[in-house]
Amino acid sequence: MDLRSRITTLTNGLQVITVQRPSATTAMLCVDVHVGSRYESAQDAGLSHLLEHMLFQGSDQHGAPVAINRLAESLGAALNGCTSRDSTRIEHWVSAPHLAASAQLVAGLIVAPRFDDLETEREIVIEEALEEFDETGRRTDPDTLSRRAAWPESPLGTPIVGELDCLGRFDVEDLRRHHAKHYCA
């Protein structure tokens, strides 16, 4: 396979990595932000993951989630996001000619999120968090349990999705603070 890659550092410090596949008919745009659960304080456990969810709730440039999803799908496929311990990724598979439009869409979500409908996303994230517990309320997720045993005093020992008490109290100002600190070059 003929792959050509290049790393470019913009004047603001942002690194852009391009991998060209000349014969490809599809393209993938990925934005990796250097923030995940390992960089959260105990008071912010789960804020990176909640923020990732909120990026899809509308932007100044592209409006509400329905409009964003329609645009994303018209360019190729649905937008996806995921948060890990080390980073947060937003990705979009597109038809190769639509890569520039995809970049505009993703940039709009990342640069100017509206943070609309926090309560709906909070409920979704809390449901994800509850998957780590059995019907008696005991945490049973092996990944979290083993990491907590290995790193009891570190954010590496907390679940990526966050702690229920934190998830219940985060507000838009917490999201804006976290976004301003981490979603920049």
User: Could you tell me which of 51, 19, 13, 26 has the C-alpha nearest to residue 174?
Assistant: 51
Residue range 155-183: mean pLDDT, rounded: 96
Residue 49 structure tokens: 């993951």
Helices (H), the chain: 47-54, 65-75, 99-111, 118-130, 142-150, 164-169, 172-182
What gap in Å lies between CA 52 and CA 28, rounded to an integer?
18
Single pTM value for the model: 0.91
Give me the pLDDT at residue 2, please.
Answer: 63
User: Could you tell me which of 127, 117, 114, 113 has the C-alpha nearest to residue 162?
Assistant: 127
DSSP string, 136-156: TS-B--HHHHHHHHH-TTSGG
Tell whether the model's pLDDT for residue 3 goes beyond 80. Answer: no
Task: Write the pLDDT tens digit of every residue in 98-132.
Answer: 999 999 999 999 999 999 899 999 999 999 999 99
Residue range 15-25: mean pLDDT, rounded: 87
Classify 131 as helix, strand or coil.
Answer: coil
